[in-house]
Structure 1
């Protein structure tokens, strides 16, 4: 289990997270929601070991993540930042193979297991058809799936995604979030994803953690989240709830 205990993060006199506590259970899709600047990216970076805390702790299997080496932690958690690294010159296959780095020794060439994991990751994300194409030639949705394939090749238990849908149009947003849902259901992954659309969160996530001014203002399942009073508390907007005509799930309308 991934556990956050009274986590506080301050930088240059500003408190980015204030006494945050939560748990990420196995085999769940957890949506992080809230206003811009609420602390979502800070929390997901801290979970990934990318930001040091000013107080409190984050533990994985009862061991502080600060006690893991960078490679050991990367064998447990894959992190996809909001600003993706430059990879224009890589082929899809080469980029996905980078996910195997935590499992390789210094200057080790890919072995058969590495190659098999890459093939499997591309199969799951349906990216095999353009394995030899340069990533710069892909559409937004294709690139998103390739980066997910790289994370899958990393072969971890946890997947941390910072706004992976932000630059995608509606078609690709649905394509990618449906893929992420399948990864949870079929691969047994635990996924933490930052989303701006509460209705996508309600349709695909198991649980919602909402942040406001660096604190958790709500942490609950979809039923407890999709309530007018709770949504107002999170977003400061009055919302009405309708039933989805196909799924029957609640849909928030401002």
Structure 2
């Protein structure tokens, strides 16, 4: 059973593990919810306790105001996450938009003297890379077609007008947040960063992912998997292995065009 913890239900603790050797805080993708990480929590517990962030405007927080600025969202989340950094070593993980948000929260935690032990990101280019994307401005039909292209949402959901009316505002809000995000130059992280991408993901190239190395003074590793934007669904077992290796302080074995750099 899930436990609601943190300020106003921001943090979900599906499988409490008070004796865990490490704690993983997970940040969902655009339109995503904390429940996306329920299988991750179940798999990694009890060795690694998983905390999943629940953004406002979805599921049980559906009536709460949406936040369409990742800097504002990181400002809100950092003090929520901070108390969880006083226990076992904390690691951050985010997919797509969640990767950028995890980075921004990690920067704030580092500035407060509570730096994460490592940051694992997937399906996202480095914060300082830029693309002029405006998907959030598309009509509903075109917006849905773009979502379908990424294969991250069950297409059957979009056949029900009531479901569309319920989930589209959060999706469009998160796309706006991700597409209008602009990196603000500042201190780098001082922990290892591991970036995972799919070789068919139109949202991030190897070159864009490699730039993550410029955002840390620590070690950087890049792994390239077969698949698109949600390659993590097809390679879940291997992604869990990578997280376990990172949490154990080991250099993860990565597939494809694995690249290791020092920041």
Q: Which has the bigger relative contact order, CA under 8 A and spacing at least 6?
A: 1
TM-score (norm 2): 0.30
TM-score (norm 1): 0.31
Larger % of helix: which? 2
Greater Rg over alpha carbons, structure:
1
Larger % of strand: which? 1
